[in-house]
Amino acid sequence: MARLKSAPPRGLIKQPASPELDLTHLRYEVDAPLDQHLEHFWSVAWKLPKGITHAASSLPHPSIHVVWEGDDVRVVGVVTGRFTRELKGESRAFAAKFLPGAFRPILGAPAASITDTTIALREVLGAKKAKSYRDALANAADDHARVEFATDFWNAQLPAPAHDALLLAELVKAAIEDRTITSVEQLRERSGMHLRELQRWFHDAIGITPKWMIQRYRLHAALLELEKGSRPLTNLAQSLGYADQAHFARDFKALTGLSPSRYASSLTVAGG
């Protein structure tokens, strides 16, 4: 039986939705040894009356996803901007979310080659394997069966973790959890690498720059703090390592479309 992930999702941009939207978003834990490669499986199912749509937005993680929906399975590279999907009608999707850098050995090319784009899974694994993956997910009775199949499938595909996977995981964790890390230089010091070496490594393994990762996780933290509504904006900007509130507000609005204060107000309205 697949186990639901209890930690709250990061990076979701919450916004008012039609009361007619029937939406389910679930995430499932990954067991060893697959947890060295995947963060979790996720599924989304939605249903909307004809003529009604809903724009679902997020600030994606530095992760590559393999997403099944309908007749297709696609490898989705890291999205550097805001991701928005217009939901309409009725459908569902199921995906494997890979840890940063973990899909690089399967891709066989720099992760940056698919940043901000998608490719068919058959281009990576071949038509036969891609079809078996798609058919099994489409014919599965429920998410539990999908998780079971996908676990066996990816365990059979994935090589041993790269020799530098542990260091990469440590740097990603530091960028997520350590709010004192506000510059690439601080991350470089932890890595023990030269700056250009670190940048090339991130470009090849993850598909983005170290600076992008630091900023993205700071904005993830901002979204969570604004949802709590317990901290003044000035203090929030400082806690995230911004020199001033104006810089924080500019970065936040560039990606979410709203200033931090407007976003916080929209949450209050949506929550009644």
170: left (phi over 0), alpha (psi -120 to 50) or beta: alpha
Contact present, 23 and 48 (Cβ < 8 Å):
no
Could you write out the three-class secondary structure of 180-230?
A: CCCCHHHHHHHHCCCHHHHHHHHHHHCCCCHHHHHHHHHHHHHHHHHHHCC
User: Which range has the worst mean pLDDT, 7-16, 213-222, 227-236?
Assistant: 227-236
On whether both 46 and 108 belong to a single domain, the answer is: yes
pLDDT band at residue 269, thresholds of 50, 70 and 90?
Answer: very low
Confidence of residue 42 (pLDDT cuts 50, 70, 90): very high
pLDDT digits (tens, 9 = 90+) for 143-196: 999 999 999 999 999 888 888 999 999 999 999 999 889 899 999 999 999 999
Query: Region 239-265: what's the mean pLDDT?
Result: 90
Residue 7 belongs to some domain of the structure: no
Average pLDDT over residues 2-16: 90
Domain hosting 260: range is 165-270
Q: Is 4 part of a structural domain of the chain? A: no
Question: Are 221 and 153 in the same domain?
Answer: no
Q: Are 197 and 205 in contact (CB under 8 A)?
A: no
How far are the Cα atoms of 117, 121, 123 from residue 126, in angstroms, in the given order? 19, 7, 6
Backbone φ, ψ for residue 163 (5° rounding): -60, -25
Q: Do residue 41 and residue 144 come from a single domain?
A: yes
Judge whether 205 lies within some domain: yes
User: Do 145 and 16 lie in a common domain?
Assistant: yes
Domain assignment of residue 111, yes or no: yes
Domain boundary among 104, 138, 157: 157
The half-sphere exposure of 264 on its side-chain side, counting CA atoms within 13 A, is 16
Element (H, E) at 131: helix 127-139
Assess whether 134 and 44 both reside in one domain.
yes
Question: Does 213 reside within a domain?
Answer: yes
Average pLDDT, the chain: 93
Q: Which of 136, 157, 178 finishes a domain?
A: 157
* 175 and 152 within one domain: no
Verify that 63 and 141 share a domain, yes or no: yes
> Is residue 3 in a domain?
no
CATH number for position 248: 1.10.10.60
- Residues 236-252 have a mean pLDDT of 89
Q: How far apart are CA 5 and CA 9, in angstroms?
A: 9
DSSP code for 70 = T
- Over residues 221-236, the mean pLDDT reads 85
**Phi, psi (deg, nearest 5) at residue 226:** -65, -30
Both 153 and 172 in a single domain?
A: no
169 shares a domain with 144: no
Residue 110 lies in a domain: yes
Shared domain for 179 and 262, answered yes or no, is yes
Strands annotated E in the chain:
12-13, 22-28, 38-47, 53-58, 65-69, 72-76, 83-88, 90-98, 118-120
* pTM, 2 dp: 0.93
Q: Is residue 198 within 8 Å of residue 210, measured between CB atoms?
A: yes
- Name the domain boundary from 119, 141, 157: 157
pLDDT at position 230, please? 66
Q: Quickly count: other Cβ atoms within 10 Å of residue 197's Cβ.
A: 12
- Alpha carbon distance 247, 257 (integer Å): 15
Indicate if 17 and 129 belong to the same structural domain. yes
179 and 150 share one domain: no
Average pLDDT over residues 231-258: 88
The number of domains in the chain is: 2
- In sequence order, what are the residues at sequence separation of 6 or more whose Cβ sits closer than 8 angstroms to the Cβ of residue 250? none
